[in-house]
Amino acid sequence: MSLQSNLIASVFLFGTALNAEQAIEKFTLSPSILEIQGDLAYGEYLASDCQTCHRADNSNQGIPGINGREITEIVYALHEYKNKYRKNQVMQMMAGGLGDEEIAALASYFASLQ
């Protein structure tokens, strides 16, 4: 998936960018971050905080379901929130406390769910 496709997919999945200029300016991640293999067990351990809002049954009750999404989509979205590229104070706070390994683990775990 191209960087532009990732941006479009993550905007669709997780909300909008902060402003029109940032929507045009592409958010990029280094290849080293994208190459991190997430630990599924660690991701499952961390997921309980996410599942407080993102429903385990993957239904969208105003907050999108994230089960079964592509790893890259989730990684981009979490890094975009972490770097305040996207609006949502709760997600900025949650993602802001995550390291690269934790983001990779969460992405791997949620991607593995259907």
Residue 84 confidence (pLDDT): 94
Encoded tokens for 84: 């305040």
Residue 25 confidence (pLDDT): 65
CATH topology of domain 3-112: Cytochrome Bc1 Complex; Chain D, domain 2 (1.10.760)
> For 72-108, how does the pLDDT look when each residue is reduced to its tens digit (9 = 90+)?
999 999 999 999 999 999 999 999 999 999 999 999 9
Domain boundaries, the chain: 3-112
Residue 44 confidence (pLDDT): 96
Residue 60 confidence (pLDDT): 85
Residue 83 per-residue DSSP state: T
Q: Dihedrals φ, ψ of 17, to 5°?
A: -70, 170
Residue 7 confidence (pLDDT): 45
Residue 61 confidence (pLDDT): 82
Q: Which residue has the higher pLDDT, 1 or 35?
A: 35
> For 16-67, how does the pLDDT look when each residue is reduced to its tens digit (9 = 90+)?
444 555 555 688 999 999 999 999 999 999 999 999 899 888 888 889 999 9
Encoded tokens for 16: 């909008």
How far is residue 29's CA from residue 56's CA, in Å, rounded to a whole number? 28
Reduced to 3 states (helix: H, G, I; strand: E, B; else coil), residue 48 is helix
Q: With 60 as the cut, is the pLDDT of residue 14 above it?
A: no
